[in-house]
């Protein structure tokens, strides 16, 4: 496809990097320095100018574009870009927004604003947090096959019962497949004799019950499900959505907000949450409210530094796990090194969502692992698939290393893949792929 990306910030640059190998990419941005940087770092065309201007879009080749992605940091700009593209072309339009009101309007009216697909940064960030709540030690969770299959990434905590066990020893679950182990900068496909070390990140695929049981085995001291007590610090849009989504799942979160007017509004809008008006960096308040007894603290303030401080205070008080919203991408790894369990970068989350949506190859669902180090795909088997009509041990032999068949669903039933399992046309298969074999393997599936 020919794809025009308007906005060369973190989101636009990330999308361009992901798509440049398989599509013709044109990136538009007002900032000449950003445009120059992309010209030298990626195999893309660049245009300096205002993406809402018809003349700029003409220069970018709007007449030949198959897709336009508006990814600037301004909601209204992105909407105007898509509306302009829709007025003068047949290109499929994708807009990134932060304000959920725009998303609600778009959802109620087909192709409102001239937008074919809209993603909301704040809502996606909240959803990524909520998915790991209630699943001990989880860093990331994605669902496949209408919820019948889950992929989860776990970090082995200090003192875990599975620490120093082999995969064969830790794998006591009939409907679970160990896919990979991430250690430092290395990715290892999980084998029976692979050893699980402290702080390793393990990717498993299975039915949701088996994933939860494995989570409890990794961290037996953490309560699973809605028994987990959650404290949210900050009544930002992301903090609000985290509390709302948790309430929908049966949790009773506590939310701390410093601003009195905002706290009162949140108390009205969140009937399942307990909203407290106070400064979350006040140690006396945190101790008085027994925040240290919480199992999970979400830091959703308006500053990376404040979110780090809140997370460190929570850990000092005895909180089991902390998640922090981190707007600066370069800080994520640093914050996780000094004490934050999971750092969520909203721009990275939305970039991955748009990349997932634009991927071709017939995948029905895609999960991106650790910023493109691997992917988990859901594909429906057709007659041309290398997997069709053959036992798994035969078909996998024709594929490179770095491929793991994680789960199968057939007629809405979950099937655990084994070497002698024969895949049939119409089966849905969830496959783990190392990034280095992705382009080679995906067309064969």
Domains and CATH numbers, the chain: 2-115 (3.40.50.720), 126-218 (3.30.70.1450), 230-347 (3.40.50.720), 351-442 (3.30.70.1450)
In this prediction, residue 237 carries a pLDDT of 95
Question: What's the average model confidence in pLDDT over 106-128?
Answer: 91
Question: What's the average model confidence in pLDDT over 356-374?
Answer: 76
In this prediction, residue 110 carries a pLDDT of 74
pLDDT single digits (tens) 34-90: 888 888 889 899 999 999 999 999 999 999 999 999 999 999 999 999 999 999 999
Of the two residues 305 and 136, the one the predictor is more confident about is 305
pLDDT single digits (tens) 248-307: 999 999 999 999 999 999 999 999 999 999 999 899 999 999 999 999 999 999 999 999
pLDDT higher than threshold 60 for residue 247: yes
Question: What's the average model confidence in pLDDT over 205-212?
Answer: 94
In this prediction, residue 27 carries a pLDDT of 96
Query: Whose CA is closest to 81, among 117, 108, 57, 112?
Result: 57
Mean pLDDT of the chain: 92
pLDDT higher than threshold 90 for residue 193: yes
In this prediction, residue 361 carries a pLDDT of 53
Question: What's the average model confidence in pLDDT over 159-168?
Answer: 94
In this prediction, residue 362 carries a pLDDT of 57
In this prediction, residue 250 carries a pLDDT of 92
- Binned at pLDDT 50, 70 and 90, residue 209 comes out as very high
Question: What's the average model confidence in pLDDT over 384-400?
Answer: 91
In this prediction, residue 39 carries a pLDDT of 87
Report percent pLDDT > 90 for the chain.
76
- Binned at pLDDT 50, 70 and 90, residue 181 comes out as very high
pLDDT single digits (tens) 399-435: 999 999 999 999 989 999 999 999 999 999 999 999 8
Question: What's the average model confidence in pLDDT over 7-28?
Answer: 90
In this prediction, residue 364 carries a pLDDT of 76
């Amino acid at each position: 496809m020919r794809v025009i990306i308007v906005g060369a910030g973190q989101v636009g640059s990330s999308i361009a990097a992901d798509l440049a190998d398989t599509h013709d990419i044109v990136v538009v941005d007002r900032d000449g320095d950003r445009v120059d940087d992309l010209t030298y770092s990626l195999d893309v065309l660049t245009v300096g100018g205002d993406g809402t201007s018809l003349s700029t879009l003409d220069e970018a080749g709007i007449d030949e574009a198959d897709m336009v992605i508006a990814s600037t940091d301004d909601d209204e700009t992105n909407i105007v870009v898509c509306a302009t593209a829709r007025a003068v072309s047949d290109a499929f339009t994708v807009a990134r927004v932060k304000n959920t009101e725009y998303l609600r309007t778009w959802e109620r009216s087909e192709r409102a604003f001239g937008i074919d697909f809209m993603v909301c940064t704040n809502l996606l960030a909240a959803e990524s947090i909520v998915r790991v709540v209630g699943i001990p030690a989880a860093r990331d969770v994605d669902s496949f096959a209408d919820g019948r299959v889950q992929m989860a990434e776990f970090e082995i905590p200090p003192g875990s019962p599975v620490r120093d066990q082999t995969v064969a020893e830790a794998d006591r679950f009939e409907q679970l497949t160990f896919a990979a182990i991430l250690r430092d900068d290395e990715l290892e496909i999980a084998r029976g004799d692979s050893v699980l070390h402290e702080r390793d990140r393990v990717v498993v695929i299975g039915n949701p019950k088996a994933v939860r049981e494995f989570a409890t085995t990794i961290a037996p001291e953490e309560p699973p499900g809605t028994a987990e007590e959650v404290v949210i610090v900050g009544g930002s849009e992301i903090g609000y959505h985290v509390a709302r989504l948790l309430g929908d799942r049966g949790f009773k979160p506590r939310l701390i907000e410093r601003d009195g007017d905002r706290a009162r509004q949140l108390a009205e809008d969140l009937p399942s949450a307990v909203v407290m008006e106070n400064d979350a960096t006040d140690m006396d308040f945190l101790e008085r409210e027994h925040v240290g007894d919480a199992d999970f603290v979400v830091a959703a303030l308006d500053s990376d530094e404040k979110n780090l401080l809140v997370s460190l205070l929570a850990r000092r008080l005895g909180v089991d796990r902390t998640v922090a919203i981190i707007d600066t991408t370069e800080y994520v790894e640093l914050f996780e090194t000094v004490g934050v369990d999971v750092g969520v970068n909203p721009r990275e989350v939305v970039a991955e969502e748009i990349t997932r949506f634009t991927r071709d190859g017939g995948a029905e669902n895609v999960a991106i692992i650790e910023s493109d180090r691997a992917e988990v795909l859901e594909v429906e088997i057709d007659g041309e698939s290398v997997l069709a009509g053959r036992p798994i041990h035969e078909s996998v032999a024709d594929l490179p290393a770095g491929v793991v068949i994680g789960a199968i669903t057939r007629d809405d039933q979950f099937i655990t893949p084994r070497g002698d399992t024969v895949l049939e046309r119409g089966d849905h298969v969830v496959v783990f792929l190392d990034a280095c074999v992705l382009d080679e393997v995906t067309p064969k599936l």
